[in-house]
Amino acid sequence: MVICRDVVENIMDYIDNELDLKTLRVLEDHMGECPECKAFVDTYKRMLDLSGKMKEQTFVTPEVRERLKNLLKSRMKPC
């Protein structure tokens, strides 16, 4: 059983197409039933797209990435 936090934990691997097929299917099934997770993933993808279009190259350290992930986890509503 997938919970919303699993989507947050795996979002980068999902976006980078690095999940095994079973995990990918489970997460996509969950997102098909959970509009909050679908919106979260869509928003995250859009954020990455927009940040990639910035004129100056911005580097996000692993520490900042981890802090962002933890913040998102703390604000997600349980399914």
Counting as low any pLDDT under 50, the low residues of the chain are: none
Residue 78: per-residue pLDDT = 67
Residue 39, CB-side half-sphere exposure with 13 Å CA sphere: 6
- Can you give the residue range of the structural domain that contains 50? 4-75
Number of folded domains that form the chain:
1
pTM of the model: 0.65
- Check: CB of residue 79 under 8 Å from CB of residue 4: yes
